[in-house]
Amino acid sequence: MAESFDTIVIGGGPGGYVAAIRAAQLGQKTAVVERDKPGGRCLNYACIPAKTVLRTAEIYSEARDGAALGVVAKDVSLDWDALGERRAAVSKSLSDGVKMLWDKNKVTLIEGDGALTGDGDVKVGDDVYAAGSVILATGSVARPIPGVEFGDRVLDTWGAWSLPERPQKIAVVGAGASGCELASAYGRFGTEVLLIEMLDQILPAEDKDMARIVERAFKKQNIAISTGSPVEDVEVGESSVKFKYGGESAEVDYLCVAGGRGADVEGLGLEDAGVELEENGKVKVDEYGQTSNPKVFAIGDLVNAKALAHKASEEGVVAVEKAGGGSPHPVDQNLVAGATFCHPQVAGVGLTEAAAKEAGHEVKVGKQKLGGVGGATVYDDKDGLVKLVVDAKYGEILGAHIVGNRACDMIAELVAAMALEGGYQELAQIVHPHPTISEAILDAARAVDGWAIHA
Ligand SMILES: Cc1cc2nc3c(=O)[nH]c(=O)nc-3n(C[C@H](O)[C@H](O)[C@H](O)COP(=O)(O)OP(=O)(O)OC[C@H]3O[C@@H](n4cnc5c(N)ncnc54)[C@H](O)[C@@H]3O)c2cc1C
């Protein structure tokens, strides 16, 4: 046996790195096994590089279109190399920060491929490490669409965010959060974008009202949208990709597949260790992340529910506290907000109006257009909406949805209101600072009973 630890975490992404720090805080001797970089895919290949490029798209389009706000920038151009350098530097800085936190908390980093042994210990190369408990946090990997393989011109999301030059034409297949973010960045950079979604709306997980607003905004960003149609007959050539969709043909520089990821369980030795999988290939766990082997927990993209970094991190905290003999509350998956950083941003928590009705609730809705509150005009953020879905009888907030340039920050208030079990009536009495876009939340709560001031 190479060394023993109280807790060994396999995978150092937002699930694993937080789990390791929490275990160390609880006084456990802790190690993380990571085959690549601290911070995992989120910091190095997904959330963070995507948001870094989106920030450049925001600055670029605002500089280019700023004349009405009194900013006349002549010859605004993109420096693609500088963009790539900043993208890499931001990820490196955050990844180094994770390593620093591990060091500070005396978490041992074991570099290499981790796998479970039959006893539920951890093997890395020829070394076997004894573990009191193991947290699996190996995340997920991109899956191509049927009949297509990833290669030079068929990209996964990382391939699309890290292109060496700006493409003239790109098709993005899958209009969930990742696909919409890609479309919105490249569209604003001036690339001709074709966004294709098999289901009948873009952002299929979001409330229909919100998706409609984004769809309208995308049409002003060089983005053509096709819904309800799969991509077929893909032919990959040397310098382009041809394919068919919804009765049309297209030829683009790159085809990016932005939907569909699968749990990264390859080589983890799950079967030998008695860790069972769900039918969809994710690791089967209880509400604390405990697998069918009581010594082994799994968190993050490896397990069911939304594939989001903040969900992974909180599952890490719960799993470690449970493994250490504590009594944590399970993560309330209904309160894990979705956040899409396209332009305008979209954020939502809890049930959509349709899902609330389907679940049998008698529903009331309050809507406030951002354009109604003063801040939205000041900050040029008028096209969005706040929508609250509430239980008609008790006033419980069942779902909250926001479209607007700051939606992903604003949603936190509604997550807090729901977590603290405040009803819409309480929200309707909370004084919000002026002039902020958050005043639209106040009026959305008042709108439920028809007394929004800025309707
Ligand atoms: C383009 C894109 C953008 C996204 N943007 C957002 C966003 O803005 N906000 C958000 O909340 N979510 C976002 N997500 C989702 C988010 O990236 C994931 O939910 C999150 O990364 C999951 O964290 P994790 O810890 O489960 O796994 P990961 O981040 O995937 O980390 C897993 C780690 O495990 C390591 N590993 C795997 N197998 C082994 C092994 N056998 N041994 C050792 N190490 C191993 C990997 O190298 C990796 O570092 C985005 C996803 C994509 C694809």
455 residues of the chain, pLDDT tens digit each: 779 999 999 999 999 999 999 999 999 999 999 999 999 999 999 999 999 999 999 999 999 999 999 999 999 999 999 999 999 999 999 999 999 999 999 999 999 999 999 999 999 999 999 999 999 999 999 999 888 999 989 999 999 999 999 999 999 999 999 999 999 999 999 999 999 999 999 999 999 999 999 999 999 999 999 999 899 999 999 999 999 999 999 999 999 999 889 999 999 999 999 999 999 999 999 999 999 999 999 999 999 999 999 999 999 999 999 999 999 999 999 999 999 999 999 999 999 999 999 999 999 999 999 999 999 999 999 999 999 999 999 999 999 999 999 999 999 999 999 999 999 999 999 999 999 999 999 999 999 999 999 99
* Whether the CB of 300 sits within 6 Å of ligand 1: yes
Angular region, 120: left φ>0, alpha ψ -120 to 50, beta rest: left
Distances (CA, A) of 273 to 145, 245, 405: 31, 44, 47
Query: CB–CB of 11/33 below 8 Å?
Result: yes
CA nearest to 86, candidates 58, 49, 60: 49
Query: CB–CB of 47/39 below 8 Å?
Result: no
* Whether the CB of 36 sits within 6 Å of ligand 1: yes
Q: Looking at residue 302, what is its pLDDT?
A: 98
CA of 281 to the centre of ligand 1 (A): 16
Give the integer Cα–Cα distance in Å for 329 and 89.
Answer: 37
Query: CB–CB of 200/227 below 8 Å?
Result: yes
* Whether the CB of 39 sits within 6 Å of ligand 1: no
Choice from 18, 22, 41 to test ligand 1 binding pocket (greatest atom count within 8 A of CB): 41
62 C-beta neighbours (distance < 10 Å), count: 16
Of 310, 361, 434, 454, the active-site residue reads 434
Q: Looking at residue 147, what is its pLDDT?
A: 84
pTM higher than 0.75? yes
CA of 449 to the centre of ligand 1 (A): 42
Q: Looking at residue 2, what is its pLDDT?
A: 79
Query: CB–CB of 17/102 below 8 Å?
Result: yes
Q: Looking at residue 205, what is its pLDDT?
A: 95
* Whether the CB of 179 sits within 6 Å of ligand 1: no
The atom of ligand 1 lying closest to the CA of 114 is 42
CA nearest to 43, candidates 114, 104, 94, 106: 94
Choice from 21, 42, 161, 314 to test ligand 1 binding pocket (greatest atom count within 8 A of CB): 42
The atom of ligand 1 lying closest to the CA of 11 is 34
70 C-beta neighbours (distance < 10 Å), count: 6
The atom of ligand 1 lying closest to the CA of 16 is 25
Helix, strand, or coil here: 71?
A: coil
Choice from 10, 32, 43, 47 to test ligand 1 binding pocket (greatest atom count within 8 A of CB): 47
Sequence-ordered strand ranges (E) for 54-191: 108-111, 114-116, 122-124, 127-136, 140-142, 154-155, 169-173
Helix, strand, or coil here: 242?
A: strand
Bridge partners of residue 350, in order along the sequence: 399
Query: CB–CB of 24/30 below 8 Å?
Result: yes
Spacing of C-alpha 347 from chain mean position:
10
Check residue 17 and report its DSSP letter. H
Active site residue 454: no
Spacing of C-alpha 256 from chain mean position:
17
* Exposure letters 83-103 (e unless 16+ CB within 10 A, then b): bbebbeebbeebbeebbebbe
Query: CB–CB of 182/171 below 8 Å?
Result: no
